[in-house]
Each structure stands twice: as C-alpha cells, then as structure tokens.
Structure 1
C-alpha cells in the first residue's frame, strides 16, 4: 500500500510497552511499591485512597470475586455510572485475568440484550437494584451490586491471588468494549492488557508532567476514553476524583480544584455556558480574541490568566490543561479557554486503538489539528483515498462474537480508521472528513444512522429518511413522504397532520437506541431523495453531503441558533 507516513522515531518507536509476562495490573502494583503513601483515587467525600490502599482494596475485591467463581477469561458485565467502586472493580477483574464488559448506563433494552448475549458474560454487576433489574430483563442471571461486592471484600485476601495476578499476560484479553458499526449492530472490540497499557502510559509520556497533578474524572467508564484516562491517571500517579457524570462536574470544580481534566466537547461547552453567566459580552469576546491570538502567535499577550478572575475561580483556580477528545471542537471554544489561561490539548483516537492515537502536548497546540502521534504509534495517510491509518501496540487484535470474522487491520498491520486526514511535515494530524457513516455528536456519542433510517422508512407515508448529527449537540432527521400514499392518506384523514403520523415512526426508531442516539427533532421536506435528482447513488444509497447541501435551509431549521442564556 502506498502511504505517506510520519515516521519520526521519537514518536513511532520510543513508546512505553508491557513485557510479555506483565499485565495492566502492574500499574497498580508498581504505584503501590514506588509511592505507597501518595494520594490516588478519591470517592465522593473527597477523601483519597493512597496508591497502597488502591492496591489493597483491588486485591480484596479480586479475592471476593474469585471466591464466587470468577476466573481468568470470564466476562464480567458492569452497568453503572463512574464512581470509585467502579474503578476499583475494574482493577479487581483485570487482576484475575477476567474480562471487563462495560455497559453504558443509557443503553436501550435491545442494546443491553445484544451485549450480554454476544459477549457471553457469565457474571453481572450493577450500581443499583434498578440497574440490576435492567440487566436481568436483558437476560442476565444473578446480578451483584457494588455494595454487595464491597461487603464480601472485607474478608481475607486469597493466598493464591499473587500467583493468579502473575499468570496474566500482556496479550490476554482485558476488555470487550462494544462500539457501533456501519450496520448499527454494535461490535465487541477486543482490548488487551497491552492495548490499554500502551494507550494510557504513552498518553502520559506524551503530555509531560501534566498527569502529575489533580484531576476530576467524570467521563463514563463504560466508554473506552473513560477507561484509558482512568489508567493514565493510575500510571501518572494523579490524584483522581471520580464523579458520576458531566453535570456533576461544574459545581464540583471550585471545591476539588483540578490542575488538569480530560473531557469531551459537550462538557467543555457546558462549562463555558456556566462561565458566561459570570461575564459581560465584552469580557467574553475579549477573552476569545486574546486566546486565539496567543494560540496563533505563541507569546502573544492579552490572555486573562489571573486566578482573581471569575472564570478561573469557577474552574477551581488551578486548572491549566484539558485533554479534549471524542469529537471536533469549535475554535471559539478553544480561544475562550485559552483566554482564561486554560490550554485545550486536542486528541484523536477510536475504540480500536484504545482511544489514543494523537494528542497535543502543552505549548505545542496547533489550531485545527488533533496533535501528533503518541509515543509508540505510527500514523499514515493512505495514498488512494486519504484514510488515516494507525499502527502500534494499542491497536486491537479484532472483534468478538458475531463480529469475530471482521477486521479493521490490513495485511500490513495498519488499522483503517475510516477517517480522512492529512499530516504536516511536523507530524500534526488534521481530520478532514469521515469515510464511514458513523456520526459523532459534539457530546462524543457514536451514532449509527442506518438502523434509525431503516426503521423510519418502514412507515407507510415515509419515502426516505436521512439522520443528521455529526458534530452537533443532538440527532435530527430529514424525512420525505411518498406522494401517492400521502394523497391516499389525506383522503382518509382530511383533518389530520402527517407530521403527527410520522412522529410515531420516529418514536419507534428511537426505541432501538439510547437517548443520546435518538432523533430529537425531524423535518418533513419537499420533494424526494432520488437517483435522478443526484441525491441517491445508483444502488440507492444516500449521498449524504449532496442532500445536506440541497436541504441546508431545512437543516438550519433543525438546529436553530439562539442567543446564549445569561
């Protein structure tokens, strides 16, 4: 394959890796040995566990699980929001060589059923009895709660646990993370101990001393980004406060005073909206201009970095860096944070690379790029079509279950990302488009449009449907009606509104997915998507970009621009 590859050895070769005989748990045991009294993970009360205490708690949980039959290779499905108990259970399952199967808290019944069935999970854990019932309804057997496992862990640590931990190898399976495919059927992506270690450790190496600080982790541990950041924090010896969700983050920042964060654009936008209430329009505009100037011309003056300003106080007074991943980020948001002394470090990755491919380091950001490859990573651009290709120890060996015969890695070992990009002479990656049809909302949620479109099209009145939402805060749809059927329907229902009838089709489609993936608004548009009009291919596939151009005015109606609340 002809490629243009960034091959600077300092990035492509000099990465941190696991010895073949080591496992991901070595992060926890090494931290306990090297810095036993250093603060590590923190619960909602803010009281930290030291590195030694994290190791002790994880081993106690592992012993409790082993006593109840969990063995190496067993899949353990876990449903719940991010919290200290989730993180410790993560470590315990991995210590045994068992496999973590995260289940997103907002997943639909159909999605949970598929994950449990496809993964072949034998053990099930939920935060609450409500979540436990959701797992049982989807086919789970006995479901344990975090609280129940915690009670079991108060017993003695198993005599043979050290030998069990030592038996786990770098290339053993650590996690099965389910991600949407182009058909909409989620695929279980294999994440080995090596994959996660390489992604997490080299993110720390790439960002210098940033992880040697305090952070608040509110990303979902059911998502690979949340998992990678958790282990990066453990590897980097961060003081890590765990919170259930992004909405919990804003009120917590002044008290917890992080020095760095890892977030998605949705969270950054939410924090910015809160900070706007503390500023005048003129102050905000000045901050954006100053921030963008500083980023475009390093050394430019004017950024409002004083801890005495209201935004700095709202962010805790110590925040300097934020890793931003999961979706594209508007330049004005980057400028806003830079104007108040916070540098956003853009990054890029996907589930099949344990979420880490590139990340910017402090002082090296270039607007419009997603940074340079992390150590141990090679990034190439396919000459044929401009697709971004990735190589390294973090690349997944493949998929599980019903998708086991699929692969995203070619014969030369390159992971095909499905994204289109360019690399400059210094190795900065710029994403310019998406080869695959998966949409990524501004909240970082992957949405497969095809199943939604297929379900809406089943309605008698509907001729075609195109789902939108890439880079947007929510999902919408353009819908066309079958002219002949509409005329017949109007005869039978002269006083009815076709919009109400189509709404039932949208509701049925939404039942297939989580709320974040559901269609929030739709618009019935004039005409139809046809081959003759150039809106469909000869095989009747949607020409999405062409349709978006043709119906730009309708799309604008679905995403109205309103003045920010103050």
Structure 2
C-alpha cells in the first residue's frame, strides 16, 4: 500500500520507549527499587504483596525455572485462570528471557494441540490436574503445576540470576500469543519485550493518574489485553487484585472497592444485567438517559449514593473497555451511577493498545486518541492503519511467511473507521460488513450489541450477505427464558424479544434494519466452536450450523 492512499492521519507525540537493554522484568525490579513498601499484586481478596516482596518472589520463581533447565528463548506454555501464580510465573519466565505461550482455559483439544505443535514449546505449566491432562493429551511432556512451581520457589535465589536477567533485551521475543482464529487456524503473534512495555507504559501515560488506584483484574492473562493491563498496573503502581473471571469479580466488587477496572464489553453487559435486580425497568431507562446526557456534556464521574453504585464497589470511577464494541446505552447506564467507560481500541498485533480514551478528554462513541508514540491512519477504503514501536514483528511458525506490516510500515488492522479531531471511531470490520443484494452496506455489530442487551437474549448474529434484506439469529438465556415462561403462560417468547429487535432497528435506516429474526436452539459457545476464546462470533461456523434456520428466514419473499 502506498502512503498516498492514506486519507487521514492522527499522531500522538513521543511516547515512553524503554532502552534497548530493558526487559519487562525491569518494571518489577524498578518498582521494588523506587517503592519497596508500596502494595502491588494480590491473589483474589488477599492482602497484596509489596513491590519488594513481589520482586523477591519473581526472582525466586525465576531461579526455580533455571534449576529446571528453562533457558532464554525456550517456549513455556501456560494454561490456567488469572491469579497471582500465573502472574509470578509470567514475570519469572520473562525475566530470564524465556518466551511465554499462553493458552486459554476454554481452548478446545484441537486448539491446544495446534498451539503446542506450532510453537515448539518445551516446557509446560498448568493450574489444575485437569488442565495438565489436557496439555498431555495434546502432546506435552512433563507438566508442572502452579502449586509445584510455588513450592520450588521457596528455594534459594541463584547467584547468577542477575547475570541472566541482564542479558534480556527489549527486542527479544517475550510472548507468542495465538489469535482468536475467527475464520481459520489461529496464528501465533510474536510480542517482544519492547512491544508490551511500550503498550502498557503509554496506556498509563495516556490515562493520567488512573493507574494510581485500586483495581481487580479479571481479564484472562491468556489474552494480550490481560497481559497489557497486568504490566500497566505494575508500571502505574496500582494495587491489583487478580481474580479468575467475571463470576468471581461481581461479588468481590463491594469488598475490594476498586477505583478503576479493565473489562471487555461482554463483561460490562453481564454486570449490567446483574444490577437489574436492584432497579426497575423504568429506573434503568431513566438512568441510561441521565448517563448519556452527562457523557454528552463531558461531565466528570459523580459520586452516587445508590444500590447499583454500591454493587460496583462505591468508588468505581472509570472502566477501560476494549476487545469489542460497546453499546452507547451501556456507557450511559454506568455513567448514571458514577462510572465513566473509557473505550479503547487495539489488537494482538499491536500488543493491545492503539487508542485509549483519557478521563479528561473522553468522547462518547469513539475509542479515544492514539497512545503516545503511535500513529493511526485511515486508508482510502476506510481501513484503520497503525504504526509504532508496539507493533508486532510478525508471526511465528506456520504463519511466519505472513507479514502484518506493509512496505510503508503500516499495520493493516482489518477494521474500518474514521478520524474526527484525532479521535478514532470504529465503524465496522472489513470482513464482517454485510452487503445486501440491493448493494446496501450493513455493519452487523451495533445491531448485535443492542439485541444482546435484552435480559432474555444470550447472543445474536445478524445475517444478510447477498440477501434481499437483513435478518438475525437469536439465542436465549435458558434460565431466564424458563422463568419468563412460568410468569407469562401462553405468551410467545418471540413477542418479548421483538422489543430488542425494535430497539436495535432504531439505530439504523430501514434498509439496514433487521426485518426478520429467528430464535434458534442451543447457544453460541466456545465449547461448541461458535465463539472464539475471546468471545467473538465465528460467523461462518454459526451460518453453517444454523443453515436450515437461515433458509427458513428467507423462505418467503418480503416486499
């Protein structure tokens, strides 16, 4: 692609970039030197370790790995849920120059086998015996448990450890993160120490003093977003409680009382649905209107004395939201109770962070401005392009011949967007834009996001490529649907869900609106291969699985 094809460009000034001799371990060691007594990471709701204690435990874990012949450049597969043990192993492996290969706990046997084979990993660690068995079934040799590693780390710190850690460089490979693979076999994206350092440090810089607070990190460390937030918390000095997932996060919020969180929209939607038990439907509608007005007027977060605010911890002021689009009504809902959503945008190939909304300049409907040191441009066809020191050098293994960056240095994201005063707005995904037989371009994600907010809906996929009009497949929350049927005998569930379709259609023009929908059996899940590990729709797989339902939607001609 020629730079002449770039129609718009937004560049943020110089950002933080580590020296060539630095590694991600320097974030841990530096914090221990500067703030030895400051609280940092905690397992769940435990008392956090101090920076000095964390550094000692990382060094002890690194020594244990060296004792077991883990060398610089060796790939280390890690399978488990987010927790202190994962973080310690992560930092320790990186400290000695080993390459972390994270695996989602929800990955299928075939996905695990592909990652092990493609990465050429020689060391393996798992949280549970069940996880270990899955790795062994996929071809792993000896698998270390998190508990084993913790026990080994009770030993002495090696005399040669400092020499080993000092040998790691910024451009050394730190991680191989396998992408979701929405359309095929996942690719191993190479992330260097520099990539991750730049992404995390400049996210902290972009957000001012946000990371000088308390948070609960429930993002999977198997995802690059979770990794970036972990190192951002370490770099920014946050007191960070590590939790396995959203089911553990929700009840912990009132006790941990975080000042900020990092979540994906799916989690925000789940928490919003949980909070619905605390207010009426009318009160929720009023809250959304109130919150959207506050956001439109760029009002800062306000302290609210309300059961919903209490359920969020009572002092939650900001949430960094990334990984997918977020419906504006959800942003409005949280704003009404004192929490402002800061949308961000990124991808694995840029170590997560490309743009981040800052508390002082948050703009509704956008994903913020580029983090320091990053350039964002819009190609002639609308594709979002990125350049900066956090962009991956490429792919590993079978995908090694593919280049994410073009001859002019631009990373092609595959997303479609537009820039307004330096703020990026994502309008769709190149491969997911539907073109009807009438030539109308339809972005399915905003429609799907809005339908999914209905309390009875579990998931939704919009259909319409090459068709005369747009339709949707809808799955229902089985438990909520059963309760609804008992409370509404003789009534049609589809009638109730029609309100969600109508609400979604209010966002678009008539040709873009959902004309028909069908409630389908089952659900879209990771286990049945219809969602990626990061909860994105596998559209082709869903279309194939529900082909008969799609045929029924188009079996009659609509005028």
Q: TM-score range by the shorter chain?
A: 0.7 to 0.9
Name the structure 1 match of 2:9.
6
Q: What is the DSSP-based 3-state SS (H/G/I as helix, E as strand, rest coil) of the residue aligned with 1:56? A: helix
Alpha-carbon offset, residue 527 of structure 1: 5.5
Is it true that 1:402 corresponds to 2:398 in the alignment? yes
The total of aligned residue pairs comes to 478
> What SS class does the counterpart of residue 278 from structure 2 fall into?
coil
Q: Which residue of 2 aligns with 1:122?
A: 122
Question: Quick one: structure 1 residues 147 and 525, their matched pair in 2 at CA, closer, same or farther if it must change by over 3 Å?
Answer: closer
- Alignment equivalent of 1:429, drawn from 420, 424, 427: 424
Aligned to 1:362: 359
Q: Secondary structure at the match of 1:107?
A: coil
Asked whether the 8 Å contact 2:45–2:241 carries over to 1, the reply is no
- Residue equivalent to 1:499: none
8 Å contact from structure 1 (residues 258, 316) kept in 2:
yes
- Contact map agreement 2:97 2:168 (CA 8 A) in 1: yes
Question: Aligned partners of 2:297 and 2:201: how far apart in 1?
Answer: 31
- In the alignment, the residues of structure 2 paired with residue 31 and residue 208 of structure 1 have an alpha-carbon distance, to the nearest angstrom, of 18
Moved segments of 4+, more than 4 Å: 466-473, 475-479, 506-509, 511-521, 525-528, 550-554
CA 1:436–1:124 in structure 2 vs 1: closer, same or farther (change >3 Å)?
same
2:341 aligned partner: 344
Unaligned runs of 5+ in 1: 440-465, 480-501, 529-547, 555-566
Contact 1:476 1:522 in 2 (8 A): no
8 Å contact from structure 2 (residues 40, 51) kept in 1: yes
Structure 1 residue 66 displacement after superposition: 0.4
The equivalent position to 1:524 in structure 2, one of 535, 540, 548, is 548
- Secondary structure, aligned partner of 1:380: strand
Give the equivalent residue in structure 2 for 1:510.
528
CA deviations over 1:463-520 (Å, ceiling 9, x no partner): xxx99997566476979xxxxxxxxxxxxxxxxxxxxxx999x999936976856778
Instruction: Give the aligned partner of residue 307 of structure 2.
Output: 310
Counterpart contact for 1:262–1:324, Cα < 8 Å: yes
Is residue 181–residue 532 contact of structure 2 (8 Å, CA) maintained in 1?
no
How far off is 1:45 after superposition?
A: 4.2
Deviation at 1:271, TM superposition (A): 1.1
**1:379 is aligned to 2:376:** yes
Residue equivalent to 1:103? 103
Q: Deviations over 1:287-328 (max 9, x none)?
A: 21111111112349xx8x444211111111110000000111
Structure 2 residue runs of 5 or longer lacking an equivalent are 435-443, 453-457, 465-519
Match of 2:171 in 1: 171
Structure 2 residue aligned with 1:132? 132
Deviating more after overlay: 142-151 vs 306-315? 306-315
The answer to whether the Cα contact below 8 Å between 2:215 and 2:240 also exists between their aligned partners in 1 is yes
Deviation, structure 1 residue 438:
10
Deviation readout 1:333-365 (Å, 9 max, x if unpaired): 100111111110000000000010001000322
* Aligned match of 2:389: 393
1:195 is aligned to 195
> Aligned partners of 1:467 and 1:4: how far apart in 2?
25
Q: CA deviation at 1:4?
A: 3.1
Distance in 2 (CA, whole Å) between partners of 1:247 and 1:312 is 18
The answer on 1:79 being equivalent to 2:74 is no
Aligned counterparts, 1:145-224, within 5 A: 145-181=145-181, 183-224=183-224
**Preserved contact between residue 303 and residue 315 of structure 2 (Cα < 8 Å):** no
> Which range moved further: 509-518 or 406-415?
509-518
- Name the CA shift for 1:4/1:468 in 2 (closer, same or farther; >3 Å): closer
Call closer, same or farther: CA 1:377–1:282 in 2, change over 3 Å: same
In 2, Cα distance between equivalents of 1:231 and 1:321:
18
**Is the CA contact (8 Å cut-off) linking 1:477 and 1:522 kept in structure 2?**
no
Query: Retained in 1: the 8 A contact 2:106–2:526?
Result: no
Change in Cα spacing, 1:288 to 1:22, as seen in structure 2 (3 Å) is same
Give the match's secondary structure for 1:318: coil
Q: Distance in 1 between matches of 2:84 and 2:228?
A: 15
Q: Equivalent residue of 2:204, what SS?
A: helix
Give a deviation string over 1:12-42, Cα, whole Å, max 9, x none: x310011011111110010000000000000
C-alpha deviations, 1:25-73, integer Å up to 9, x for none?
Answer: 1100100000000000001242110111111100000000000000000
92-101 vs 279-288, which deviates more? 279-288
C-alpha change, 1:477 and 1:344, in structure 2 (3 Å) is: closer
* Greater displacement, 367-376 / 138-147: 367-376
